[in-house]
Chain A
């Protein structure tokens, strides 16, 4: 009996000593807030990163909390302003500048240098440079792919478009009242027109980019009042006003309508692919090169370290970022999310096996990246929400009041300059 007690005590002591030796961070919890916790693919990939991190750091737990995307910016602002930021900072690439500008994000330069993280060719990473400092690591940069319903195009006698005029022609031919009740129930294309300014701008940019328009130039000067932008606005007005897209729907609604064969053509990010695979029209839908040049695309979301957390937590968060940005995990990112990994060294063989059109997705991201496409205009990063809301309101005013795009471009230019100079 005594022996058994002694053995038990010895084993306990050994176990305790072992834990103490292997973990200097016993009972440490890192807070991680993200909107992707319930997103298929992304959720599983983040879970795999967390699991790998916790295995490497015994005693350290990651407390992963979901906050809805719609309330994300408010919640994060409140957390930072209240002095209780999450340790692992996950932000959309168009909102991180506010946090960086307030000095709330750690300068990652020394960490990158010390760990020799290779960011050469990392898609969209230049967006993470803010006022001469690297404040984040880009986690996703995508280009838009072009999905089309071959069956609907064939029935309407339209060919797969390769430019805007062909796209418009195909959209007109495929927008129809199929059941004859006087209500169009099949649309040429589908755009979200219900959400906020950022998404509205993204949808509109498909047309303005193809027309050669930019919101600002490389120096951050507003360049909206140009013939190219007038052409882009005219195209957007035509598509919406002529009813070639259903109105007042969310992105999720338009994607589902496309997947179910109610929309003939869709310009969208790679997140469209898994939705199509579950739709009624999946056998009729094909993916191809975007008829618009350059394709719409841009940076999506970033990882950063909160500047206010203790130094030992900062090192742990950097370890987490290193796992997420390692080549093996970047390879699994492509395979699990069917999105192009920002790491140019990621092995996409597995993703290719899983997704027949993965090369198209990768090519779209490369084309958009090569053309430096981003919905975030240079020089308006801090005021992006206000700028995007203004652009959405003026574009809607153009459509509702049937205004001349030339006048609208002038108004947008003046308002954008006012926002930039305030």
Chain B
């Protein structure tokens, strides 16, 4: 009864208590939804278990999942595929996203329509995008093959999804198509926040368009681009639905990322201990990558 009045949260020295109190429900919820499963995954990763039941006695502690993982060519292949995807897709999303943002930031007729069209892929659900692209790149009846033959770019049908290189290329195309609008929207928002005075002053000083881009636009956009870069990278890193629906990680593991490998081991092969080990290693890689990105531009983020 008397506890709350005694706390006197209005006192300046105790004002931060109110902050903690207000944050507490969210923190507890996050701890329950994220930290607890994470802890369980970590625990399972050190046990040789198939299907997990929390009410069953613990299996003996073992490092076998990790030793097997680091000795597995499939794991290193998945790590390599993930790295390639992250670099290629993020870089392409950045170039296209920034380019389209600069384009639709100009004044021209139909600018509103162009802005909507650029943002459109972002609004399309991933699975629908995959279905559309699957038909376009279909090896037997696809539009892309038809165009390639009509324009004499290929003498025969290209087995896009049946060849490792073709499947990887198609996955990159879909992910770039799906991912660049995010960068574009973020960059456009950043561009509109740059005062016109900067550009006017630069013009008076005789700066060319290229110099204005390098010395005004890009530095001003850095905070926005930094956040976009980290978020895009994490999206590519953990994306599951596009690859799973389109290729299932194949052919010959050419598109199998760490996320897909985790899923396959857990829910196709029911090796929960091994899958947890992959998940934990993936998480560590993600944390290190994010930390490196954040650490490189602390003032901008």
Contact = CB atoms under 8 A, between A and B. Distances in A.
A191 to B, nearest CB: 12
A267 B273 CA distance: 40
Interface string B136-148: 0011110001100
B141 A246 contact: yes
A392 to B, nearest CB: 8
A393 interface: yes
B190 to A, nearest CB: 39
B32 interface: no
Contacts of B300: none
Interface stretch (A181-189, A269-277, A345-353): A181-189
B51 interface: yes
Given A248-B139, A385-B269, A400-B251, A183 B159 contact: no
A297 B101 CA distance: 56
Contact of A247 (B50, B146, B159): B159
A196 interface: yes
Interface of A: 73-74, 77, 80-81, 83, 98, 102, 181-185, 187, 193-196, 243, 246-249, 383, 385-386, 389, 392-393, 396-397, 399-400
Contacts of B55: 83
A248 B149 contact: no
A400 B254 CA distance: 12
Given A80-B51, A393-B250, 5 more contacts: A81-B52, A102-B51, A393-B252, A400-B251, A400-B252
Interface stretch (B15-23, B161-169, B231-239): B161-169
B157 interface: yes
A187 B139 CA distance: 13
A113 B159 CA distance: 55
B149 A183 contact: yes
Interface residues of B, number: 32
Main secondary structure of the interface of B (DSSP, over half): loop
Contacts of B59: none
A72 B188 CA distance: 42
A396 B166 CA distance: 14
A187 B141 CA distance: 12
7 contacts: A77-B270, A102-B53, A196-B268, A247-B161, A385-B268, A389-B269, A396-B251
Nearest to B163: A400
Contacts of B149: 181-183
A64 B267 CA distance: 23
A400 B140 contact: no
B99 interface: no
Interface in B28-63: 50-55
Contacts of B146: 181, 183
A246 B140 contact: yes
Given A247-B162, A393-B253, A400-B164, A74 B53 contact: no
